[in-house]
Amino acid sequence: NIVKNFYYKLKINFNIKKSPENEVNLNFDTIEECNSKKIYIYDFQNKKKWWFNVKEINQLINSSLCSFDEEYLEFYSKTPINPYTKVVLSYKDLLSIYDQLKSLNSQSFLFELFKKSDFNIQHFIIKYTTSIQDHFSKVVLPTLDNNTLCDMFTNIACEELGLNYINYHQLYYYSELI
């Protein structure tokens, strides 16, 4: 155990001192331009790391934990991924990100709930569906375009409420006003 702990600390120190793979973040800010605190994702297998600013990593995590499918008109949750490699973040990665955000006191509410469900997406969905719906209503829903909102309204009105007398053409025509 002593040797394992020493090896683990040595590996972490090596990765901390290593320069990141990305020179700019997803908002095209360079490391020097980014005045805010930085969060790192380490890939221990490939010995690489990437940096993100706090706002960006929270946005990435929240968009994974509460996404919207415009084809089926419903929200869903998935495990966050590294946007540079498109690989699902492992438990270690998520825990590392969480610890970094917690040290800056900047973790998002959904990410906090995801941590409470032990980074298990099925448990997260089962336990916190109401919180995911609230986040969807407050953050994602206002960003949807009018046609998608009209489609959602017609689905709710027809399927759940049984209203069959909606004039769909006028609904889409006046969607900007509504």
Q: How high is the pLDDT of residue 49? A: 80
User: With 80 as the cut, is the pLDDT of residue 61 above it?
Assistant: yes
Which residues make Cβ contacts (< 8 Å) with residue 97, sequence separation at least 6?
Answer: 39, 41, 57, 61, 89
**Cα-based angle 89, 92, 93 (whole degrees, multiple of 5):** 40
For 14-38, what is each residue's pLDDT tens digit? 655 666 655 655 555 555 555 567 7
- pTM greater than 0.75 (yes/no): no
Residue scoring higher pLDDT (135 or 177): 135
Task: Work out the average pLDDT over 149-159.
Answer: 81
Q: What is the mean pLDDT of the chain?
A: 81
Task: Work out the average pLDDT over 160-171.
Answer: 77
Residues 144 and 127: beta-carbon distance below 8 Å: no
Residue scoring higher pLDDT (60 or 4): 60
For 98-116, what is each residue's pLDDT tens digit? 988 998 898 899 999 999 9
The encoded tokens of residue 85 equal: 């490699």
Task: Work out the average pLDDT over 156-178.
Answer: 78
DSSP character string of the chain: -HHHHHHHHHHHHHHHHSPPS-SB-TTS-BTTT--S-EEEEEETTTTEEEEEEHHHHHHHHHHHHSEEETTTTEEE----EETTTTEEPPHHHHHHHHHHHHHTT---HHHHHHHHTTT-HHHHHHH-HHHHHHHIIIIIGGGS-HHHHHHHHHHIIIIIS------HHHHHHTTTT-
Task: Work out the average pLDDT over 122-139.
Answer: 92
Q: How confident is the model at residue 64 (pLDDT cuts 50, 70, 90)?
A: very high
For 78-89, what is each residue's pLDDT tens digit? 999 988 888 899
Q: What percent of the chain has pLDDT over 70?
A: 83
Alpha carbon 35 to its chain centroid, in Å, reads: 22
